[in-house]
Structure 1
Amino acid sequence: MNKIITYIKSHKIKSAIVILLLIAYYFFLPKQLFKDPTATVITSSNNELLGAQIAKDGQWRFPQNNNIPEKFKICIIQFEDEYFYKHPGFNPVSIFKALRDNLKSNSVKRGGSTLTQQVIRLSRKGKPRTYFEKIKEIILATRLELRTSKGKILSYYSSNAPFGGNVVGLDAASWRYFNRNPTELSWAESATLAVLPNAPSLIYPGKNQERLLVKRNRLLNKLLENEIIDSLTYQLSIAEGLPQKPYALPQIAPHLLQKVSQTYSGKRIQTTIKKRLQEQTNTIVKNHYNLLKQNEIYNISVLILDVNTRQVLTYVGNSPTDKTHQKDVDVIDKPRSTGSILKPFLYAAMLDSGDILPNTLVADVPTQFGNYNPENYNKEYDGAVPASRALSRSLNVPAVRMLQEFGLDKFHHYLKALQLKDLKYNANHYGLSLVLGGAESNLWDLCKSYAALSSTLNHFSESSSEYFKNEFCEPTFLASENIDFGKKTSEKTLFDAASIYLTYESLKKVNRPEGDDNWEFFNDSKQIAWKTGTSFGFRDAWAIGTTKDYVVGVWVGNADGEGRPGLVGIQAAAPILFDLFDLLPNSDWFAKPFDEMQEVEICLKSGYRASQNCEEKQSEFVQLSGLKTKPCPYHVLVHLDKTEHFQVNSSCEDINNITHKSWFVLPSLMEHYYKTKNPFYKPLPRFRLDCIGENTTSMQFIYPKASNTIFLPKDFDGNTNELILKIAHSKPESTVFWYLDDTYIGITKDIHDFAIIPKIGEHTITVVDEFGNETSQKIIISK
């Protein structure tokens, strides 16, 4: 060491020059050899290619891949650089031979470059092939050998070598010329690609086939001579043909690729997509698209999530339509009218808040809130219907009435907690139509919400009846990302487990599409909680379903918003949903969350907690919050004569002859519709005529509703059509007197319908029954 110091002191200039040269040598090689733009590549959960987006410079150049198949590695070393693992970056013998032959012929006849030198030359693209440049390559090659491993140098070469046309790198070449992954190439295919960078122009389809064949077979023969392959493999290999045309790269999940490229442009991303499932989904979507397009319905999107990992298993952003119908638009994250798809959230919220029990009777009668007049899809009314059945049948009027009772702001708060990002306005902006499609959402957010509810149930049953704080998290399509559900807590995240379970029990009973009606009679049939939705004007059809393990979401419509007849959830989206569930494994049904439930006696007819007047009762497990609901209001104790045909009291009947009986009684308007659908419903018997002091009757207008503005059309003869007035009376047999603006106009009995032709303007309609009960309604007749 002292000698070195003494020498440096004695030869300062020489030492400084040497040190500067060493520093220059150290920094001579750039940290990043290749800066060319690369293609965006996505692979499946098993690293199978799903699709690629060409690099910005128009080259099929995949991102750097350090995994080189053994066959190609052997072929490229045998063909280009047999002493690759022995030299320091350059081969003096090869350089001497190449220099000698080139000088003799006065032209470039032979190259002496090692694979390391070729990597340097590829990184310094555009440099002239001069002797001075060759010296630079040698220096840089030695520096590269000192900096990195032989394997890394091979990966640099295989990822950046030209393979003809706009194909760069082994990965792109393998897919373009053989339509498969490099690891699946045969010896003949590997040899073909190994000789190409030496003369990439030979690959043009239909040209230079003989020259390329000779080069390939010469390499295969060398492999045989070096005992790398046996004679049988050699004979089979030389019998293989050459690629005749370039293949299009797979585009199995094009819209996911488009989504990934927005954040990870130029990178290779392993996704959570199951390739086989994605391909099967693509086929189902294509088949349904071919049917739907006959009705001028052109766009479909599908999302399948794993409930337990919150991973995206299938991502179909759009159907295989054309550019005219916006095939490149990814509809999964686009806002669309929700139709009825939000109704389960209202039902769960009302259960969670203790406003209803699962089968509480809710009114299903003609209803008007200001200028808003919701109607059921079939334009019919049941009078009263269990809340769970109103959900499973997707009845609009009960849903709106439930929302009005629950509170618009309250429900809006629940939806905001679901993180539906397209819910951008306050509750009053949407009004009561919020639950029928007045708001917009997207397939991603809706599937995410259903997955969160299912996962809440799973976690509750798997843990010690606990919840996770981050249950309502974003799904992921990145294989490298694991979802963190947060810490456990005894407090519910949004809905309690019982409310979710009872909601799913109702959704399990939704009528399935035609052809799958009798699913419950088959032991191996999937139990699915699912819901459809149809937006106003038949513009959007939804179907979203969940099992314990999977959520499947389907949207069908036209990306430009055009409505079509038949574009309804049960007809257009539901068949796709069930075809997709047929691809998935069967799941057990959700475990009942007993720790959030209690068994109580329920009135069989009304669905309320049983009162002392309820005769038919049954024990059911309900959510704990449901214990605060009121007892059944529809069962009353009535006093009848011995025949039970009339009500009586002490004024007209001896107390010993009075029969006391519980009776199921609905309000008059509900009763009017209920008895048409329930033939065993018995109206409350009227009082016997000789009884005094009892005259309990009620009347309600069926049509028109308060402050209705009505237009009276004309028939083909130019005559103005009549306005039909209707009321419901608790005693239909009563006589009712009708008045228009205090002018008597007629009388009805039994059936209380009355036809009038009022003048244009504002009118008051008044009805008075024989007992002196009175009710009135204001209307406006418009031109």
Structure 2
Amino acid sequence: MKIKNYILKHKKKTIFLVVLLVFYAFCLPKELFTKTTSTVITSKNNQLLGALIAEDGQWRFPKNDSVPQKFKACLIQFEDEYFYKHPGFNPVSIFKALKQNLQAGSVKRGGSTITQQVIRLSRDNRERTYFEKLKELILATRLEIRASKEEIIAYWSSNAPFGGNIVGLDAASWRYFNRKSTDLSWAEAATLAVLPNAPNLIYPGKNQHKLLTKRNRLLKKLLVKKIIDSLTYELSILEELPQKAYPIPQIAPHLLQKINKTNKGEFVKTTIDKKLQNQANEIVKNHYNVLSKNGIYNISVLVLDVKSRKVLTYVGNAPTDKSHQKDVDIIDKPRSTGSILKPFLYAAMLDSGELLPNTLVADIPTNFGSYKPENFDKKYAGAISAKMALSRSLNVPTVRMLQSFGLEKFHHYLQQLQLKDIRNNANYYGLTLALGGAESNLWDLCKSYASLASTVNHYTENSSRYFKNEFTEPTFFTDDKIDFGEKTPEKIIFDAASIYLTFESLKEVNRPNTEENWEFFDSSKKIAWKTGTSFGFRDAWAIGTTKDYVVGVWVGNADGEGRPGLVGVKTAAPILFDIFDKLPNSEWFSTPFDEMTAIEICTKSGYRATEICEEKKMEFVQNSGLKTAPCPYHVLINVNHSENYQVNTSCESLSNMKQKSWFVLPPLMEYYYKEKNPFYKPLPPFRNDCLRKTKNAMKFIYPTEKSTIFLPKNFDGKKNELILKVAHSNKEATLFWYVNNEFITSTKEIHNVAINYKAGIYKISVTDNLGNEIQQKITVKE
């Protein structure tokens, strides 16, 4: 009642007081400091990886709420001994400063508390007048109400000037001592505590004596106050002052630039393993020094943790120069894939039940219209297991498998993997889709390999169940938690068995030709790995996975220039294995038996065994493998006792015949297969006295299908001859050759014919001595 009466009697005073209180309540800005800050990234253990200078050209790290105890003690003893006792200003200090300044006739002493200094810093160090000091005092008391003492010290530490363009304790620690503020010694903490008092003191070789005097005086005070002991004091005063400003570490510069696009001016804790990142940087640097001599200037490396899907290492480019695009982050840039997509085709065919790992696939000269795929070594095996075709990265079997499987089906699988650079429809890429006709990037490819590995891990660890969000994006933010979604009994893209069998194929160590002599490969490490080389030697890839880690490597030139020797197995794979050498060994994947079944396999063909397959073995294959075709390469024939002739009842009695299962390949496959398989036995011929016609067992080796042939000239200017080749299943057969129905010659055993014709269209006909005939049309151009 008394208060009400007072208000009624003194309305003007009351209104004035209310206005004053409202003004006081809102006089302090909501955000004290609004200047731009540096983008700073750290490792998963809070170790600095790099920083970008703020937009105003200052090294100003984002506010750090944690101030190291050493620096805090030094700061309080130097700037404001009664910091924890005053309400924002110290009347005694103000009185002393006022007295000294009046005697001197100018401002000689400030008398400001740490809180007042925070206010002055937030107001851009305005001119030091008595009126300005009054404002600071009022605002300081308001800040004391709003913020804790620890928050006020954090404000000061994050925004105090430390000389030049260095602002804040964290930036100063790295620039002057090349370490984080929590690792500073007492002498270093004391140096930085006195520096904002006169930040222009610390320049290399300038005013060092003044700075040293200030620092040692503070250390002496710490000793007197028993904050440090005498031994610490004696050792501290012996420490030298910094003589230069260190550069801010740039351990993951391309990741820093990537994060700066989305988290500009922020402090970001990443998932990077600093030790591994440094090791990878050194490995890349060493290989760059060698490769650059051959005009190969760019390298990128990505390492993922399979279980957490976190990025452990991010090397966006080699330490090259600006003329070779050193600032370009290649990890997310689309590049021609080479053979790196082949494992996805293999897994897709296993998953859909169209293939078993050891199924023989054709490796023979092949034309698809004008497209003629070739193996890297331009040789053919005739027939090779699908598993070995993948491990040796053979192009011809891959294209034939893709054509058989279906281009649209494979393209659909790739779309499910979310390879974002494969934007066009299947027909746009054609049958080159699995050989580098499409583009992808290291990020998406490593993501896919990690998802495949994780699928097998989760299936075997979670009672044969899958996760709905298995094929998720990796992350380099520590705070991100990967959500793999709910469990489900249904596969997401590939079943676990198909992935496991694909990895088993990629685990093969023996490599053909250029892929031999892996003296740097530790065979005790079980790694499923694949290389790739794009057309024109522009891109070299190597990606490998274990149960725990995926390592991806790209090597080439950012501008797309091809170079001789820029081959995945020669340039990218050595880097891959050097990185794996730095990673812990992993156990091999557990076999997903619940997605597998044991069936009889024909040993020679790799197909499901039939009754007439002589050699069989039990193998665990994917469940969908039950849908695969039975062995087509075994036939029952009647032979004489020595098994060197086929016979029948027209020439031999039943008692002298025996029935035999024979492994027979089609003629063209057989032609190349028997060169590499000396124990292969061609089908024996019929004995001459037997009445039987053989099947049409001829096929063109060259040319194949409708071909356009260019005849180059040799060194003397004459046109080279065209060599025609035919394979016949009966080595005793005689073949008769015709060109445009005109007889040319006959051949026996080796069926090669050289012809020399002008440009034009020709029909080649070949007839054997049993009347079987094959024909081929060719176009000859000069």
Supply the distance in 1 between the matched residues of 2:509 and 2:705 (Cα, whole angstroms): 34
**Count of residue correspondences:** 779
Range that drifts further, 187-196 or 686-695? 686-695
Amino acid at match of 1:138: L
Aligned equivalent of 1:748: 747
User: CA shift at 1:733, angstroms?
Assistant: 2.2
Supply the distance in 1 between the matched residues of 2:516 and 2:716 (Cα, whole angstroms): 43
**Percent same amino acid at aligned positions?**
70
Q: Deviations over 1:2-57 (max 9, x none)?
A: 22122112211111111111011111000000001000000000000000010010
Q: Deviations over 1:627-676 (max 9, x none)?
A: 01121110111001222111111122112221100000000000010000
Supply the distance in 2 between the matched residues of 1:514 and 1:652 (Cα, whole angstroms): 52
Asked if the contact 1:510/1:531 (under 8 Å) is kept, the reply is: no
Would you say 1:539 and 2:538 are equivalent positions? yes
Aligned equivalent of 1:187: 186
User: CA shift at 1:510, angstroms?
Assistant: 4.2
Asked if the contact 2:610/2:630 (under 8 Å) is kept, the reply is: yes
Amino acid at match of 1:453: L
Aligned equivalent of 1:72: 71
Q: Deviations over 1:547-586 (max 9, x none)?
A: 0000000111111111111111111011111111111111
Asked if the contact 2:520/2:577 (under 8 Å) is kept, the reply is: no
Aligned equivalent of 2:14: 15
Supply the distance in 1 between the matched residues of 2:246 and 2:642 (Cα, whole angstroms): 88
Asked if the contact 1:43/1:269 (under 8 Å) is kept, the reply is: yes
Asked if the contact 2:521/2:577 (under 8 Å) is kept, the reply is: no
Supply the distance in 2 between the matched residues of 1:587 and 1:715 (Cα, whole angstroms): 56
Amino acid at match of 1:22: L
Aligned equivalent of 2:701: 702
Q: TM-score normalized by structure 2?
A: 0.99
Q: Deviations over 1:731-751 (max 9, x none)?
A: 132111111111111111111
Change (3 A) 1:505 1:763: same
Would you say 1:565 and 2:567 are equivalent positions? no
Supply the distance in 1 between the matched residues of 2:649 and 2:706 (Cα, whole angstroms): 44
Aligned equivalent of 1:415: 414
Supply the distance in 1 between the matched residues of 2:141 and 2:306 (Cα, whole angstroms): 53
Supply the distance in 2 between the matched residues of 1:250 and 1:535 (Cα, whole angstroms): 35
Aligned equivalent of 1:665: 664
Aligned equivalent of 2:113: 114
Aligned equivalent of 2:676: 677
Asked if the contact 1:510/1:530 (under 8 Å) is kept, the reply is: no
User: CA shift at 1:587, angstroms?
Assistant: 0.8
**Structure 2 unaligned runs (5+)?**
none
User: CA shift at 1:589, angstroms?
Assistant: 0.5
How do 1:363-442 and structure 2 match up within 5 A? 363-442=362-441
Asked if the contact 2:356/2:625 (under 8 Å) is kept, the reply is: yes
SS of the residue 1:83 aligns to: coil
Asked if the contact 2:531/2:541 (under 8 Å) is kept, the reply is: yes
Asked if the contact 1:599/1:621 (under 8 Å) is kept, the reply is: yes
Amino acid at match of 2:386: A
User: CA shift at 1:514, angstroms?
Assistant: 5.2
User: CA shift at 1:781, angstroms?
Assistant: 1.2
Supply the distance in 1 between the matched residues of 2:519 and 2:318 (Cα, whole angstroms): 27
Aligned equivalent of 1:609: 608
How do 1:181-580 and structure 2 match up within 5 A? 181-511=180-510, 515-516=517-518, 525-580=524-579
SS of the residue 2:216 aligns to: helix
Asked if the contact 2:548/2:586 (under 8 Å) is kept, the reply is: yes
Supply the distance in 2 between the matched residues of 1:370 and 1:126 (Cα, whole angstroms): 78
Supply the distance in 2 between the matched residues of 1:482 and 1:336 (Cα, whole angstroms): 30
Would you say 1:31 and 2:39 are equivalent positions? no
Aligned equivalent of 1:145: 144
SS of the residue 2:530 aligns to: strand
Amino acid at match of 1:610: A
Change (3 A) 1:518 1:581: closer
Supply the distance in 2 between the matched residues of 1:517 and 1:261 (Cα, whole angstroms): 41
CA RMSD of aligned residues (A): 1.1
User: CA shift at 1:762, angstroms?
Assistant: 1.2
Asked if the contact 1:554/1:577 (under 8 Å) is kept, the reply is: yes
Aligned equivalent of 1:620: 619
SS of the residue 1:670 aligns to: helix
Range that drifts further, 628-637 or 402-411? 628-637
SS of the residue 2:85 aligns to: coil
User: CA shift at 1:269, angstroms?
Assistant: 0.2
User: CA shift at 1:58, angstroms?
Assistant: 0.4
Amino acid at match of 2:583: L
Supply the distance in 1 between the matched residues of 2:639 and 2:409 (Cα, whole angstroms): 45
Range that drifts further, 682-691 or 433-442? 682-691
Range that drifts further, 304-313 or 122-131? 122-131
Asked if the contact 1:363/1:384 (under 8 Å) is kept, the reply is: yes
Supply the distance in 1 between the matched residues of 2:459 and 2:487 (Cα, whole angstroms): 10
Aligned equivalent of 1:160: 159
**Off by >6 Å, runs of 4+ in structure 1:** none
Asked if the contact 2:667/2:699 (under 8 Å) is kept, the reply is: yes
Supply the distance in 1 between the matched residues of 2:142 and 2:485 (Cα, whole angstroms): 49
**Structure 1 unaligned runs (5+)?**
none
Asked if the contact 2:347/2:494 (under 8 Å) is kept, the reply is: yes
Asked if the contact 2:596/2:620 (under 8 Å) is kept, the reply is: yes
Amino acid at match of 2:18: I
Aligned equivalent of 1:104: 103
User: CA shift at 1:518, angstroms?
Assistant: 9.7
Amino acid at match of 2:735: V
Amino acid at match of 1:546: T
Asked if the contact 1:358/1:388 (under 8 Å) is kept, the reply is: yes
Amino acid at match of 1:70: Q
Supply the distance in 1 between the matched residues of 2:304 and 2:734 (Cα, whole angstroms): 62
Asked if the contact 2:382/2:672 (under 8 Å) is kept, the reply is: yes
How do 1:623-634 and structure 2 match up within 5 A? 623-634=622-633
How do 1:644-655 and structure 2 match up within 5 A? 644-655=643-654
User: CA shift at 1:151, angstroms?
Assistant: 0.3
Asked if the contact 2:497/2:622 (under 8 Å) is kept, the reply is: yes
User: CA shift at 1:694, angstroms?
Assistant: 2.8
Amino acid at match of 1:56: E
